[in-house]
Amino acid sequence: MKTLVIVTCVKEKLSGSQKAKDLYISDLFKKMRHFVEIHDYDWRIISAKHGLIDPEDIIESYEDESLDQFKLLQGKQTTNLKTKKDALRQIIREQLEPILKDYNRIILMCGKNYRDVILPLLKEKKVVNYFKGTKGIGEIKQKLLTDIDKKKYATLNGYMQQGS
């Protein structure tokens, strides 16, 4: 089973042009990246400005105005939020179309606004909401650390059994 992980972009970024995987520098992003890389999953970064970004793509640092607009519009101007989500969904649909057939499982590591955008595009896939059941960033980071440690232990244990 081939897995694609979609992780959220974050506000904390380096300046200038960087590979997308290096641009975002928050502790949460670093833990999500580590989780993806230790499992050797394919991944993309979801951004209101760019849609889905390949981690190897070089992008220019940008202000987080797109996500702030999502937050500002919630509960105030539902029509504008819906329009913005619909526009982002169309961009992501075009980006997913050439690659989605290669995956049968999608892990989402993103908040509700991004899930609302992307879930309608994944109807025929097994989708895992990684953040489900967590309350806040602290619990998400703890879950990531626990899962990373489990993978490291399983890998180490596998190496030790092979050497016996």
- CB neighbours of 140 closer than 8 A, spacing ≥ 6? 28, 131, 134
Nearest to 110 by CA among 87, 75, 137: 137
| CATH number, domain containing residue 91 | 3.40.50
Residue 104: per-residue pLDDT? 94
Residue 83: per-residue pLDDT? 77
Residue 158 has pLDDT above 60, yes or no: no
* Residue range of the domain that includes 132: 3-163
Residue 161 has pLDDT above 80, yes or no: no
Q: Considering its fold, how many domains does the chain have in total? A: 1
Going by pLDDT thresholds of 50, 70 and 90, the confidence category of residue 1 is confident
Two structure tokens written together for 93: 């649909």
Per-residue pLDDT tens over the stretch 14-66 = 999 999 999 999 999 999 999 999 999 999 999 988 899 999 999 999 876 55
- 150's enclosing H/E stretch is helix 136-163
Residue 68 has pLDDT above 80, yes or no: no
Residue 152: per-residue pLDDT? 81
Asked whether 51 and 95 are in contact (CB, 8 A), the reply is: yes
Residue 87: per-residue pLDDT? 84
Two structure tokens written together for 82: 């819906």
Residue 162 has pLDDT above 70, yes or no: no
Per-residue pLDDT tens over the stretch 74-129 = 444 445 667 788 888 999 999 999 999 999 999 999 999 899 999 999 998 999 99
Residue 154: per-residue pLDDT? 76
CA 154 to CA 51: how far, in whole Å?
Answer: 34
**32 residue type, one letter:** M
